[in-house]
Amino acid sequence: MTSKKLLPDLLISLLLIASTLYYAARFVDFTIPPFEDAAMLMRYAQHLADGHGIVWNIGEPPVDGATDFLFMVVSAALIKLGFTVGQAVRGIGFASHLLTVLLVYWANRRVHNANIPLSFLSGLYLAVGTGLSYVSAYFGTPFFALAAAVTWTLGLILIRQENPRFWLILAFALSGLVTGLIRPEGVILASLMLVVILVMRGLKKSVSIIVTFGAVFLLLGGAYFLWRWDYFGYPLPNPFYKKGGSGLHWDSYNNSLLNLLRLCLPLVVPFILGLRSRETAKQTIAYLIPILGFAMAFVLISDEMNYGARFQYALLPIALLSWVPLVHGLNFSKQDQLSAWEKGVYIAALVAVSTGLVYYSWFQNCFLTSYQQTCARPYESDGRYDMGKLLAEYRGKGYVIATTEAGLIPYYSGWDAIDTWGLNDRFIAHNGSLTAEYLDQYKPEIIMFHDYYSPLVPPKLTEANLAQRWFSMTITMKEYAEANSYVLAAVFGDSPYDTHYYYVRTDFADSKRLIEQISKMKKYYWFATGKKSINYAVFAEQ
């Protein structure tokens, strides 16, 4: 291809990069601290970079609580090179987002032979969507989305080529493996893409692809699987044992499909149009296999920690890479029969529709959390961040905090931590729940939990309430603290119905000072509202 033919695409690529950078500078808040759940992986990455292995607490056995395995490893490598944790995590995410935007444009242009306006609109739709909001919150979501988009692009090329070269087949298999190494559900997504190739090419023409894919996953993927089983002691990531238990999760199933619909709503139209003929219907149904199949797979785990539909986000670039061929051949009007005025009206209408689509994509940033107050800021100041900073003064003293909030406080304090919900604790995840005996093994200096009661609104210990796993867990923590002479230093909240409890043990060197600092903390902001919290512990003393 001559440089003259490439020039328009290169210029559009620069325009997409400039648009993404402008959008990032103008509409994305990079001053916010990590989202609570994102800080967990940052802790793992820091420990790995420091040479302690993949551990939650330094000196303890490895725990696979960081389900974004390859993202954690790459982050740790950058930290080892001298980047801060925040720079590494956000740098990977930002670069991945930019590359995915460009991939959507170039794949539509070169794989589907789409025109420049449609390819540009597809890239821009992704550029202003929720991708950079995940980066801002320190999630590695765009990294997974990039790997998924690369795998799907290679799959689309394999579908189109009659006799693909071996290196292309191998690249598809390896890319699928990388997708699975970033997040375990990537194995499901890559396997669904393989099914699409089988459907579109037929079994006879897909044998070499299936064999290569199977060999890569069996040999390289199997070697990784055996290593991680030996290293961690269990075959699956730790959170799966906590989030995947208790049968099928139909609420997660419904939420996943709704998230998919919300992220990809404008693309429903071309997929419906793709059903207009037998030829396009086969392609449409095939392309829906990884999209709907992956979304439905979330019936296997609970929906907790799904910030801004990040679990389903990888399906957006896949859909943007799929829609163009479904509308190929549509001809709503004959251009040569239109007057200049009619052409102008059509162009104006297309610009208006395109603007609306871009606005819709941007508008998804307004629904990242259920308590989000503005589109510009996904969450407010968080007292858990400030508490972590306060406790960092006591880093390195061997102190332990048992907490339901295993993100910001453990990461910024540097304390050893018991994640009482079990996502980062092997015993709790496999035992099914926290026990007083397990707490007694650590005798934590601080016990902290989040629940929906306070000294003004005491918990109701009914059978129905105690059957709820979260409530039962916090009652175990509360009763353990009260039975072992802990002091209730603070119960922070902007409502007595939603609070953070802080109990401090009384028999260690810094206990008196810590009780005073926590109880007199003036700027404990409630994460959902950004308002200063009330310390309801004072009502327990009356």
Mean pLDDT of 62-75: 94
Lowest mean pLDDT among 89-103, 235-249, 375-389, 482-496: 235-249
Residue-level pLDDT at 2: 62
Residue-level pLDDT at 172: 98
- 29, 183, 256, 295, 297 from 253: Cα distances, Å: 31, 19, 5, 7, 7
Q: How far apart are CA 426 and CA 125, in angstroms?
A: 41
Query: Is a pLDDT exceeding 80 seen at residue 277?
Result: yes
Query: Of residues 3 and 203, which shows the higher confidence score?
Result: 203
Mean pLDDT of 236-246: 79
Reported confidence tier of residue 502, pLDDT bands at 50, 70, 90: very high
Residue-level pLDDT at 336: 62
Mean pLDDT of 177-193: 97
Query: Is a pLDDT exceeding 80 seen at residue 255?
Result: yes
Is 470 in contact with 354 (CB distance < 8 Å)?
no
For the chain, the straight-line distance linking the first and the last C-alpha, in angstroms and rounded, comes to 81
Give the residue extent of every domain in the chain.
Answer: 3-328, 383-540
Query: Is a pLDDT exceeding 60 seen at residue 334?
Result: no
3-state secondary structure of 262: helix
- Percent residues over pLDDT 90 in the chain: 84
Is 120 in contact with 105 (CB distance < 8 Å)?
yes
How buried is residue 319: exposed, middle or buried, by Cβ count under 10 Å (0-12/13-18/19+)? Answer: buried
Residue-level pLDDT at 328: 82
pLDDT in tens, 360-416: 999 999 999 989 988 888 998 999 999 999 999 999 999 999 999 999 999 999 999
Residue-level pLDDT at 339: 75
Reported confidence tier of residue 278, pLDDT bands at 50, 70, 90: confident
**213-231 b/e (C-beta count within 10 Å ≥ 16 → b):** beebbeeebeebbeebeee
Residue-level pLDDT at 539: 84
Residue-level pLDDT at 345: 81
Is 366 in contact with 388 (CB distance < 8 Å)?
no
Query: Is a pLDDT exceeding 70 seen at residue 461?
Result: yes
Reported confidence tier of residue 342, pLDDT bands at 50, 70, 90: confident
pTM of the model: 0.94
Query: Of residues 474 and 541, which shows the higher confidence score?
Result: 474
Q: How far apart are CA 461 and CA 477, in angstroms?
A: 14
Provide the residue count of the chain: 542
The number of helices, as runs of H, and strands, as runs of E, in the chain is 24, 6
Is 375 in contact with 391 (CB distance < 8 Å)?
no
pLDDT in tens, 347-371: 888 889 899 999 999 999 999 998 9
Instruction: Find the helix or strand (DSSP H, E) in which 403 lies.
Output: strand 400-403
Query: Is a pLDDT exceeding 70 seen at residue 147?
Result: yes
Query: Is a pLDDT exceeding 60 seen at residue 542?
Result: no
User: Which DSSP state fits 248?
Assistant: -
Query: Is a pLDDT exceeding 80 seen at residue 333?
Result: no
Reported confidence tier of residue 341, pLDDT bands at 50, 70, 90: confident
Query: Is a pLDDT exceeding 70 seen at residue 10?
Result: yes
**C-beta neighbour count of 31 within 10 angstroms:** 7
pLDDT in tens, 208-233: 999 999 999 999 999 999 999 999 99
Query: Is a pLDDT exceeding 90 seen at residue 311?
Result: yes
Q: How far apart are CA 253 and CA 302, in angstroms?
A: 9
Residue-level pLDDT at 405: 96
Query: Is a pLDDT exceeding 80 seen at residue 33?
Result: yes
Q: Which sign, positive or negative, has the C-alpha torsion 341, 345, 350, 354?
A: positive
Query: Is a pLDDT exceeding 70 seen at residue 331?
Result: no
Reported confidence tier of residue 28, pLDDT bands at 50, 70, 90: very high
Residue-level pLDDT at 332: 53
Reported confidence tier of residue 319, pLDDT bands at 50, 70, 90: very high
